[in-house]
Amino acid sequence: MLALLLFCVSCKASPESNPGGSDNHFRVNLGTEPPSLDWSLATDHVSFNVIANLMVGLTELNEDLKPTPVIAKSWEIADSGRRIVFHLRDDVLWSDGKKVRAQDFEYSWKRLLDPKTASEYAYILFDLVNAQEYHESKNLDAGEIGVKALDDVTFEVRLRHPASYFLSLTTFEVTFPQRQDIIEKFASRWTDPEHIVTNGPFLLTQWKHENEIQLRANPNYFLGKPAMERISMFMVNEKTTAVAMYEQGQLDFIDNQSIPTLEKRRLTKQRGFHNVPQLRGYYYGFMTDRKPFNDPRVRKAFAMAIDRSTFPKILQGGEKPASSWIPPGMLAHNSKIGVPFNPPEARRLLREAGYPDGKGFPRVVLAYNTDEVHKLVAEAVQGMWERNLGVVVALENQEWKVYLKKLQNDPPHVFRLGWGADYPDPDNFMKLFTANSGNNSTRWKNPRYDQLIELAARELDPKKRAKHYDEAQKILCETDLPIVPLFWTGESTVLNPRFTGLEFNSMARMDLRHVRPVETSSAQ
């Protein structure tokens, strides 16, 4: 706190002073050590942010979050959406000079599903024929999985049912190709800088654990060598220190990993500051099988008593109030869905449920995992419920893993959770609350909702899909309300004004391919 206070009072240093940097050297903060650079095993966005600059896959997301060709120059969808054939470019090279082939994709996808790999993201490919069975080790051979390299440049995928979102999955790093010879030769050490073989804009040159990762531009990158010759990715955990390093010119870019909540207001005035909306929803869930939240009127009353416009003001991170669940920028986002802030109607509903002015309402608990942001949100909501409904809610916080265990074993009446997109498709958000979803902690079930999600997943026409999702969102956010969406998060970023071209997308991926000094870009 003292440090923050001192920072706010005065900061003499300037990020533009850039000690130790140069025009072709760009420095970012990862925040922590990437747990793995093996894209079959990585699960966190720190690892993916490194991998995304080392590797490319079949497709990538464009500005509208639609998959566009990268290694796949085209594809055909056949058999009513059950078969996809990708045609690959033949000029993409691995860093050791060999060509990227369809067999590299086949190997990577099968490795992801192999029970021995024990990948946490194996389920991403469960839509492939026999994939889940193979992962469950049901005496299936890998050859029976629905993926096959028909030749060096043709990759065939067979699905167990049409899946409208499947192309989006091919933008996800876990589906990027891998070299069987390298992985088999070096086993778990294949991601060491001296062994790893990649195909993206940058090459891994050094990995000093807990300290920094060094990349250099790939001169043979098939889309052209990046402008930055060198990239340094530091691992500075403490946000206050990271901001100080930016102010001192030791870092050229910082994001939420590096910016304390209380510093955001000050940094918004800096040149190079941007808030990037994220495909990440923040919600409160109700335990729907327990009194008093087994009554939809009570849930609706609680939802209507929340003024969501408060959250961007207290969090200062570019949050957007959310009344529906599918985030802006995604297919089927509909801001008209959801219950509005309406205290009189909320009180009426609560009265109708048998609790006039909150009288007789049992003691309920709102739980969250210990964190500065979650505490601010919980205290704000606690105040709103007390003011608008006359209900006093007790707050409880626990350490993250203890909290997750509690949600499974002894869930509180109301709990906090969030969800970030694995791939930018509404299916990834809406499937969360189906009856069989392991992530549905509300214990709410609605067969019509499940049916709509299934229909939308199998429907290839975007308009028809959006219609299904509209109906499902109305059930989720207007009538049944097992959850109250509160806001979609934002990412605060500050880029040194000496540079331009950094692309930070709504899935928190940092693309450094087009970063260049401002002078160069002006000249061009």
Partner 1 sequence: MARFLLKRIFHGALVLWAVATLTFVLLHVTPGGPFDRERKLPPEVVANLEAKYQLDESLPKQYLRYVTGILQGDLGPSYKYLDRGVNEIVRDTLPTSALLGVLAIAFALLVSLPVGLFAAYYRGSWIDRCLMMWASFGISMPHFILGAVLIWAFALQLGWFQAGRWDTFSSAFLPTITLGAAPAAYLSALLRSSLIEALREDFIRTARAKGIKESLVLVKHALSHSLIPVLTVMGPLTASLLAGSFVVEYVFAIPGMGRFFITAVTDRDYPLIMGVTLIYTALLVCANFIVDLFYGFIDPRIRTE
Structure tokens at 489: 């998060």
401 binds partner 1 (CB under 8 A): yes
| Calpha distance 442→287 (Å, rounded) | 5
Nearer to partner 1, 205 or 335 (CB): 205
CB of 376 to partner 1, least distance (A): 19
Which range, of 141-149, 159-167, 402-410, 486-494, touches partner 1 by CB under 8 A? 402-410
| Calpha distance 259→265 (Å, rounded) | 10
Cα→Cα distances 217→227, 228, 305, 460, Å: 8, 7, 53, 39
| Calpha distance 238→258 (Å, rounded) | 7
115 binds partner 1 (CB under 8 A): yes
H-assigned helices in 189-339: 239-247, 264-267, 296-304, 310-315
The residue among 113, 119, 117 whose CA lies nearest residue 131 is 113
Structure tokens at 476: 């989720």
| Calpha distance 341→99 (Å, rounded) | 57
CB atoms within 10 A of CB 519: 11
Please pick, from the candidates 24, 98, 103, 123, the single residue that binds partner 1 as defined by CB under 8 A. 123
| Calpha distance 520→524 (Å, rounded) | 6
Identity at 295, one-letter amino acid code:
D
Residues near 401 by Cβ (< 8 Å), separated by ≥ 6? none
Please pick, from the candidates 161, 185, 189, 464, the single residue that binds partner 1 as defined by CB under 8 A. 189
CB of 257 to partner 1, least distance (A): 12
CB of 359 to partner 1, least distance (A): 36
| Calpha distance 445→468 (Å, rounded) | 17
13 binds partner 1 (CB under 8 A): yes
Residue with tokens 């049916």: 451
Which range, of 205-213, 218-226, 300-308, 501-509, touches partner 1 by CB under 8 A? 205-213
CB of 410 to partner 1, least distance (A): 10
Please pick, from the candidates 18, 53, 108, 132, the single residue that binds partner 1 as defined by CB under 8 A. 132
CB of 338 to partner 1, least distance (A): 23
Please pick, from the candidates 209, 269, 336, 463, the single residue that binds partner 1 as defined by CB under 8 A. 209
Please pick, from the candidates 194, 265, 400, 503, the single residue that binds partner 1 as defined by CB under 8 A. 400
Nearer to partner 1, 3 or 223 (CB): 3
Nearer to partner 1, 92 or 432 (CB): 432
Identity at 465, one-letter amino acid code:
R
Nearer to partner 1, 192 or 379 (CB): 192
Identity at 401, one-letter amino acid code:
K
Cα→Cα distances 276→44, 113, 473, Å: 19, 33, 24
Bridge partners (DSSP) listed for residue 504:
510
CB of 417 to partner 1, least distance (A): 7
Please pick, from the candidates 290, 406, 445, 467, the single residue that binds partner 1 as defined by CB under 8 A. 406
Residues near 402 by Cβ (< 8 Å), separated by ≥ 6? none
Total of chain residues touching partner 1, rule CB under 8 A: 62
**By CB under 8 A, what part of segment 248-287 binds partner 1?**
248, 250
Print the binding letters for residues 21-60 with partner 1: x by CB under 8 A, - otherwise: ------------x-xxxx--x-x-----------------
Residue numbers at the binding site for partner 1 (CB under 8 A):
2-3, 6-7, 10-13, 19, 33, 35-38, 41, 43, 115-116, 118-120, 122-123, 132, 135-137, 188-189, 191-192, 208-212, 234-238, 240-242, 244-245, 247-248, 250, 399-402, 404-406, 417-419, 422, 438-439
